[in-house]
Amino acid sequence: MEYGLWYPKGNDLVIQAYTDAYWAGSVNDRKSTSGASFYLGGCLVSWLSKKKPSISLSIAEEEYIVTTTCCT
């Protein structure tokens, strides 16, 4: 109850999401790391960074997986 989010008056509450992937970033197991940040009205409301449980064959495949994960 003591915590909350503050949004400046007059801003449109537009949701924006940004994603990125670091393909085969781990030297030991070649797994990728992905990240995303979510903004509502220009204010950061959530972010994530996660090492993927599977191995992608290309950077295009990894970017597709990250974008799909972000949308869900």
Collect all residues with Cβ–Cβ distance below 8 Å to 59 and sequence separation of at least 6.
21, 23
User: What pLDDT was estimated at residue 63?
Assistant: 74
Distances in Å between the Cα of 40 and the Cα atoms of 2, 15, 67 are 20, 5, 18
User: What pLDDT was estimated at residue 11?
Assistant: 63
User: What pLDDT was estimated at residue 27?
Assistant: 67
For residues 20 and 33, give the distance between their C-alpha atoms in angstroms, rounded to a whole number: 9
- Burial, 8: exposed, middle or buried (Cβ in 10 Å; 0-12, 13-18, 19+)? exposed
Tens place of pLDDT for every residue, the chain, 72 residues?
A: 688 767 667 767 788 888 877 776 666 777 777 788 888 877 888 888 877 777 777 777 777 777 777 677
List the structure tokens of 19. Answer: 């994603």
